[in-house]
Structure 1
Amino acid sequence: MQQQRGVEFDLSQFCCSVCLDLLKDPVTIQCGHTYCRSCIDGCWDQENEKGKYSCPQCRETSSQRPVLGRNNMLAEVVEKLKKTETQQACSSSPLAPAGPADIACDFCCGTIRNKATMSCLTCLASYCPAHLEPHYSFPVLKIHQLVLATVPLQEKMCTKHNKLMEVYCHRDKRCICYLCTMDEHKGHRTVSAAAERATEQVDCKIFIYLFIF
């Protein structure tokens, strides 16, 4: 929860329900829900064969792939939020040496490295607040996908191909990389890991609703 000029708001309102991060290049689809352009494109790429394109949240479908339009007003709001979040992170999260259970910054030099607060799935590196700042300042880095540095990036990598595991295999019920879909998982039903996560979130919300009511 953040507060600006006496008004409180929840950052989750400006997060994409697929990648769970602040919206990047936000687009609003026909039902009114908003996603990162790359996230909804990834979800719909998996639905090309079915010929129906659905919203990951409300499941409203369309027989034709909708044309995506950028939500410029929301993009400006999110951009300001990112700058505010970075400034607060730098001031409220002083640099601290990484402990045994922490993720260390990949860009800190010397024998003692600072604790990483975010990991970039595009750079495949983890950053402390000081080295993370360029990702919020330079346009070429702003489009990178950042996640909280809670687990080592190695755990998100395919041990066979050394690629990010961005695909979910329904047959084997596990995440794989795109190269895996060309050999041992060839012919298996797969979706993007982000799309599978969005589906699980919707199913969980439905279960909670039915359980309560």
Structure 2
Amino acid sequence: MKEQFLDLSKNRRSIYALGRNLNQTPDEIADLIKENIKWAPTAFNNQTTRAVILFGDSHEKLWDIVADRLKTEVPSEEAYQKTLQKLNGFKNAFGTVLFYTDMNIVHEFENNFTLYADNFADWAEQAQGNAQYSVWTSLAENGIGANVQHYNPLIDDLVKEAFNIPDGWRLRAQLDFGSIEAGAGEKEFMNDADRFKVLK
């Protein structure tokens, strides 16, 4: 069995110690991200995934927005400082991809294919997983570390205003990426017997 794809999958890990020491240009990275999203499968080929790719000041602005928003949520100053340290790690990265679902397309397909209407929101989430995994793995193949965060929906309105996001786009995840300053730890797995059934 060929295992090149499996090897790439094993190389994709959550990297939290990220920096800005990359050889690739923002344009090269943006092109790689866009191509991965374009080729990721979607139900009915409805292409519901959208992305906003942030570099430089825009990238830093995002994580400042998250920090300001979480200040009202974290119960104590001590806890906030710990949160801020974590967020500054994301801010120190090279860039961030904001992954969105275009709900206008989801609703259009719900109306046009009523037999499957209850499934299109779920299928859009599957498309998100496909796109995020594809982008993340492709970045890792190029020596770029990344991790995925989910500060939505707390930040949705602020990010929408800051970056002029269309009304129909629903924020699903934030993937920050950069140079790998420290590797990931050991990955643990649950028991195969609890996870898989192979019937012959």
**Same fold flag (TM > 0.5):** no
- TM-score bin, normalised by smaller chain: under 0.3
Q: Which structure has the highest helix share of the two?
A: 2
Q: Taking CA–CA contacts closer than 8 Å with sequence separation of 6 or more, which of the two structures ends up with the larger relative contact order?
A: 2
> TM-score normalised to the size of structure 2?
0.27
